[in-house]
Structure 1
Amino acid sequence: MNDQESSTSASQTEGELEGVMDGKGERDEKQRDCPAPSLSNVSSSLQAIIRIKQKYHALKKRRQEMTLGLGGAGNFTGVPARTSPKYFTFDRLPPSSSVPQRKKKRRRKPVLYPNTRRYRNQPKQEHSLAKHCLFLLCVIVFLQVYNAIENLDDHVLRYDLEGLEKTLRREVFGQQGAVEGLLSQLKDYLSTYVHNKPLVVSVHGPSGVGKSHLGRLLAAHFRSVVGETLVLQYYVLHHCPQEADALRCAHNLSTLISEMVEQAEEEEKIPLFIFDEAEHMHGELLDALWHVVVYKQSNEYLNAIYLFLSNLGHEHITKHMLYNSSSTSTTMTASGRHSNLVKELTPILRNILEKLHPLWTEVDILPLGLLEKGHVMECFLDEMTREGFYPDHTNIERLAGEIEYYPAVGGYEYCQTGCKQVVAKVNLL
């Protein structure tokens, strides 16, 4: 029954379509034969075309519904399978058709913020964790540097260099520039406990300018801060006067230095070795000290201070001060005059000392200048105060006038013997 109904309905629709098309053809022929149509004829033809179109769409829709109903009910045997026309395919276009196709750009909607700041949703800034790590690293580095500086200050405070500076400025006369240079070297060396070489300083100057007095003050100060056993005052003419005993003295000195540096390493302190009258040291003693300073590279030997006191090169110091005093300005400070003295005399003294022994190539040279008459009067005042005499200025001038001086040069009057005779003259009072 279904097949018969479908065939009959299909035949009916085809007949209706043919009738409609025939009627339309006849009207077209009539219109060709007839003259130009009027407005009423045009409107009636349009209405007829619209009715035909509506009827055609209704028939087409009914036919699609019938075909869908038949497809849902299932395919019967003997009914040919219906194939849809291939109006749309996924085949690629032939190479001849090169029509460019523009891609449609997706329009982005703009982000609109409200006008009022209260309800405005501003974009949030992302915070990186790396900033926190960087800040923490900076804090750690700052604490490490601050701790290192504090440790350096603690190490310097152990040796009380401020007290030493006050003592040297009060007790040493006429050598303020040399005192400042020596204190600067000691401060730089004692600011840390780890060194790559020992501090070796050689003090040179004429007789009576305060070399031995400077050594005694340094020895007394270091005994008070590091202990009696870590300070050695070695007087060559007293400890080893005979040249025949030089080999034995050298061996004993090397043993004593080794014991002292080992003890200082255990106590984490820096020992002091003072060698007075170094111009009388024998070759064996110089060899032993050179071996200790240069070849002993262990940590305990590197943390040590060696101070040599001698009058080697005193002739050059005297000549330089007498010949150049006229060109020296009277307004120049003591440190300025001493810096000029060091700058001009260091190459001359080093050339002389290197010819004597290789040990002097490892030292820092510190020359001491001649004393003026005013400095000698200060020596008399200090000695008389120590001995309990009344410091009469007239008596001090009389005693200072009894000492021999070089001819006045450039407004300076230098003493030939310095403060060497001060103690003897005060004892005669």
Structure 2
Amino acid sequence: MQAGIYFVFLVLPTAYIFDRLFQEEEDVLLEPFDYERLKTDLKNSLYGQHIASEVVLKAVSGFMTDKRPSKPLVLSFHGGTGVGKNHVSNIIARNIYKKGENMKHVHVFMSEHHFPHKEQVETYKTQLKQWIRGNVSSFPRSMFVFDEMDKMNPGLIDVIKHYLGYYPQLDGVSFRKAIFIFLSNAGGNVINKVVLGSRRDGEEREQLQMNSRDMETNIFKDVFGDRNSGFWHSTLIDAHLIDHFIPFLPLEYRHVHQCVLAEMAALNITANDGLADRVARDMPYFPPEEKIFSVKGCKSVKQKLLHTERD
């Protein structure tokens, strides 16, 4: 009995010391979480994405203010090119970490860049396991962003899935404070159809919500129903571990115009509505007969701006 008591006496202080060390490191590296700051950042620097803003604000705020989350936060962003998926990942990072997306604990993976060779998938799986486990064990508030998820090998998706559940610990490491964000163009066509149909029916864009016209359900079906997608071949669909499927709507001229003005400010170019108008109108739009939505969203706005300014 005395030996047992002695054992507990030794272990508890050790666990306490590690908890204190993690907490002290978090205090140094993390921003004090501020709901209003994140809300303002989303409002001022994200254009045309009212649904994403609302869901991200609630999800991230709830997670960051929960001292004992039951699982990692898992968000899946869906939509076309240049609509703000990467941008929102950066907004989240800069509202959590003092160095924002440049923080060493923010890890970004692009499937075709980091995992290009199918014949090396077993090596990639081992490396990915070691990378996720190693980084979370050293800093529990780590953030992982996986771009091009629809192009990722299903075996790699299943490796990630391993760390997304409600387990108190896996191999001695708790992943409950980590954040995983998946970025994908999958579901983009469904989202575009919903927004276009709503517009043609005379509805205001801002009236659209997650459940409008079964958008969330149809995104889910589109993402996991595509037999050519890594999502379909993985077991992630059966595990129900993604907390939110978040649609990013196609951008209209007015949103691209806002992107141009923001890029001017970032480049220290004097605000010029006429120049912003020319740049925004020079972007390609769809459908061909109506030209409502930007084909590339705000992607390549910077290059277009610099080219137009020189003309």
TM-score when normalising by structure 1: 0.56
Structure 1 stretches lacking a partner, 5+ long: 1-154
- Give the Cα–Cα distance (whole angstroms) in 2 for the partners of residues 228 and 399 of structure 1: 33
Q: Detail structure 1 runs of 4+ shifted over 4 Å in the superposition.
A: none
In the alignment, the residues of structure 2 paired with residue 421 and residue 231 of structure 1 have an alpha-carbon distance, to the nearest angstrom, of 24
Distance 1:235 1:218 in 2: 18
C-alpha distance in structure 1 between counterparts of 2:148 and 2:287, whole Å: 28
1:387/1:225 Cα in 2 relative to 1: closer, same or farther (>3 Å)?
closer
Are 1:169 and 2:46 an aligned pair? no
Is contact 1:261-1:301 (8 Å) kept? yes
Larger Rg over CA atoms: 1
Match of 2:256 in 1: 376
Q: 1:338 aligns with which of 185, 209, 218?
A: 209
Checking the alignment, whether the CA contact within 8 Å between 2:52 and 2:248 is kept in structure 1 is: yes
C-alpha RMSD of the superposition: 2.8
Say whether residues 1:323 and 2:197 are aligned partners: yes
Report the counterpart of residue 165 of structure 2 in structure 1: 294
Equivalent positions of 1:133-282 (< 5 A) are: 158-224=32-98, 228-265=103-140, 270-282=141-153
Q: Kindly indicate whether structure 1 or structure 2 has the higher relative contact order, using CA contacts under 8 Å at least 6 residues apart.
A: 2
Tell me the residue number matched to 1:413: 292
Paired letter, 2:280: A
User: How far apart are 1:224 and its partner, in Å?
Assistant: 1.2
CA deviation profile, 1:108-134 (whole Å, cap 9, x unmatched): xxxxxxxxxxxxxxxxxxxxxxxxxxx
Q: Does 1:347 align with 2:243?
A: no
Amino acid at match of 1:427: L
Query: Are residues 354 and 339 of structure 1, via their aligned partners in 2, closer, same or farther at CA, if it must alter by over 3 Å?
Result: closer
How far the C-alpha of 1:407 sits from its partner, in A, is 4.7
Residue 7 of structure 2 aligns with which residue? none
| 1:297 Cα deviation from its structure 2 partner | 4.1
Once the two structures are superposed, residues 347-376 of structure 1 have per-residue CA deviations (whole angstroms, 9 ceiling, x without a partner) of 112223334132143212011111111001
CA contact (8 A) 1:229 1:260 kept: no
**Partners of 2:70 and 2:166 within 8 A in 1:** no
The answer to whether the 8 Å contact 1:372/1:413 transfers is yes
Match of 1:397 in 2: 277
1:134-192 Cα offsets, whole Å, 9 max, x none, are xxxxxxxxxxxxxxxxxxxxx99822343233222222111133112111011112222
Letter in 2 for 1:170: N
Once the two structures are overlaid, the 10-residue window that deviates more, 242-251 or 295-304, is 295-304
**1:197–1:236: structure 2 CA closer, same or farther, 3 Å change rule?**
same
Question: Residue type of the partner of 1:424?
Answer: Q
How many residues are paired up?
A: 266
Give CA-to-partner distance per residue, 1:17-57, whole Å, 9 cap, x none.
xxxxxxxxxxxxxxxxxxxxxxxxxxxxxxxxxxxxxxxxx
- For residues 253-285 of structure 1, the C-alpha deviation after alignment (integer angstroms, 9 at most, x for no partner) is 1111112222234xxxx3221112222211221
The aligned runs of 1:74-89 (5 Å cut-off) are none
On the 8 A contact 2:150/2:185 being kept in 1, the answer is yes
Match of 2:185 among 300, 311, 322: 311
Q: Provide TM-score, normalisation by structure 2.
A: 0.76
For structure 2, the 5+ residue unaligned runs are 1-26, 226-231
The whole-number CA distance in structure 2 between the counterparts of 1:426 and 1:315 is 28
Aligned CA distance change for structure 1 residues 229 and 161 (closer, same or farther; 3 Å):
farther
Whether the aligned pair in 1 keeps the contact of 2:121 and 2:156 (CA below 8 Å) is yes
Match of 1:292, SS state, is coil
Name the CA distance, whole Å, in 1 between partners of 2:123 and 2:167: 20
Q: Which of these residues, 298, 301, 309, is aligned with residue 422 of structure 1? A: 301
One-letter code of the match for 2:298? Answer: C
Q: Equivalent of 2:236, from 354, 359, 367?
A: 359
- The letter of the residue matching 2:273 is H
Report how far residue 346 of structure 1 moved.
1.1
Contact 1:325 / 1:412 at 8 angstroms: preserved in 2?
no
Give the distance between the partners of 2:182 and 2:99, measured in 1 at CA.
Answer: 21
2:265–2:271 CA contact under 8 A, matched in 1: yes
1:177–1:338: 8 Å Cα contact kept in structure 2? yes
Q: Contact 2:31/2:97 (CA < 8 Å) preserved in 1?
A: no
Equivalent position amino acid for 1:391 in 2? A
